[in-house]
Amino acid sequence: MADESQKWVLLATARTPTNIAVIKYWGKRDEKLILPVNDSISVTLDPDHLCTTTTVAVSPTFRQDRMWLNGKEISLSGGRFQSCLREIRSRGGDVEDKEKGIKISKEDWGKLHVHIASYNNFPTAAGLASSAAGLACFVFSLAKLMNVNEDQSKLSAIARQGSGSACRSLYGGFVKWIMGKDENGSDSVAVQLADEKHWDDLVIIVAVVSSRQKETSSTSGMRESVETSLLLQHRAKEVVPKRILQMEEAIRNRDFGSFAQLTCADSNQIINLAEKWNRAEGTPQVAYTFDAGPNAVLIARNRKVAGLLLQRLLYYFPPNSDADLNSYIVGDKSILQDAGLGGSKDVEALPPPPEIKDNIPSQKYRGDVSYFICTRPGKGPVYISDESQALLNPETGLPK
């Protein structure tokens, strides 16, 4: 086939979620293959609120591999994209579309070029795990286009070579990335612990504090940490293995007390609001965690608690006076009703939370949060067969 007189373009489109680690991987034992020093566990976030959509296309008329991210052409020459492309291409199968007169045999994938258009529905590089959703979608959509006959866990090992945490975005719900032992990384894969329906009353609120680029990328941050910190080696060998087992049990039993305690203990920062409130209530109401970016992720045990949490967040972090509540709270806005802030209710009139016992007025951080995303545990990747939703033009293979 690879006959250049043929003008056909074949497309595949997929949508993939982000994830937030509650037991984190912090350090790699192999930089190139992206092999971690410990297992990690994450919650997949609802793709209705945070996701990557990617369309991949192949045509005998394409002269080179090209990619557009959020409408701008980017280079595909980086080792991480190249590793994923190479791994998927080598596993491509035969494809036939009689209607379009397309016949590709598996040997052709090495000669054919691809076009890739990807769109994140949230700020890229704001510390919201965009590369996790992005690389998972890259691999998942290419695997569909090239008719790769591998199970999800094999695909997760390929996505891992693009971005470590991408392997966890191949599944919905609650996911474990097993660090593996093999030097070639073949057993460093993600597995699903439970699907998103298993524990569906959790509410997750992401406080997006800055859309600026991260100052230290997680890769270089991790490299420095592994090189410098004996503490991290102790963490990987002694602390995390126990936490992983405890977290698996907490998820299995929907035990929010243990889930919150383990999530907070595993995060490297302290959030006053959550600590104060959890202490005042006597039992954990909310878990908090941070990734390499500056954004805080808060997990409430249910919707009622999420409403009370949102009241507190809005009390301490009110929007700038020109911002309206509708753009300050995005995602599942119905949590505003649970917070008693539906309709025309005023954030400025919120009383201080009762756990502030002293009469010293507490400090407010107006404008420090750009916006809050309200979401929940969500499902894994899906293919989108409706061609009208593709990001590439089916005639030209160029961005729409």
Q: Is 139 left (phi over 0), alpha (psi -120 to 50) or beta?
A: alpha
Instruction: Tell me how many degrees the CA angle 296-363-372 measures, rounded to the nearest 5.
Output: 30
- CB nearer to ligand ADE: give 6 or 124: 124
Q: How far apart are CA 50 and CA 267, in angstroms?
A: 22
What stretch of H or E contains 289? strand 286-290
For 37-99, the DSSP string reads SS-EEEEEBPTTTSEEEEEEEE-TT--S-EEEETTEEE---SHHHHHHHHHHHTT---EEETT
Which position's Cβ is nearest ligand ADE?
134
Q: How far apart are CA 316 and CA 366, in angstroms?
A: 7
State in angstroms the smallest separation of the CB of 175 from ligand ADE.
19
Contact set with ligand ADE (CB under 6 A)? 52, 69, 118, 120, 124, 130-131, 134-135, 138
- CB nearer to ligand ADE: give 116 or 306: 116
Sign of the Cα torsion 68, 71, 74, 80 reads: negative
- CB nearer to ligand ADE: give 69 or 102: 69
State in angstroms the smallest separation of the CB of 52 from ligand ADE.
4
State in angstroms the smallest separation of the CB of 140 from ligand ADE.
11
> The tokens of 137 are what?
């979608």
- CB nearer to ligand ADE: give 19 or 52: 52
- CB nearer to ligand ADE: give 118 or 188: 118
- CB nearer to ligand ADE: give 85 or 305: 85
Q: Is 90 left (phi over 0), alpha (psi -120 to 50) or beta?
A: alpha
State in angstroms the smallest separation of the CB of 128 from ligand ADE.
9
State in angstroms the smallest separation of the CB of 162 from ligand ADE.
8
Of 192, 156, 254, 224, give the one whose Cα is nearest residue 379. 192
State in angstroms the smallest separation of the CB of 126 from ligand ADE.
10
Per DSSP, 396 falls in state T
State in angstroms the smallest separation of the CB of 53 from ligand ADE.
8
- CB nearer to ligand ADE: give 132 or 260: 132
CB atoms near residue 282 (< 10 Å): 7
- CB nearer to ligand ADE: give 131 or 289: 131
- CB nearer to ligand ADE: give 11 or 310: 11
> What angle do the packed helices 130-145 and 152-160 form, to 10 degrees?
130
Q: Note whether 85 and 76 are within 8 A (CB).
A: yes
Q: Which residues contact 176 (CB under 8 A, 6 or more apart)?
A: 39, 40, 41, 190, 191, 193, 244, 248
Per DSSP, the three-state class of 330 is strand
State in angstroms the smallest separation of the CB of 70 from ligand ADE.
7
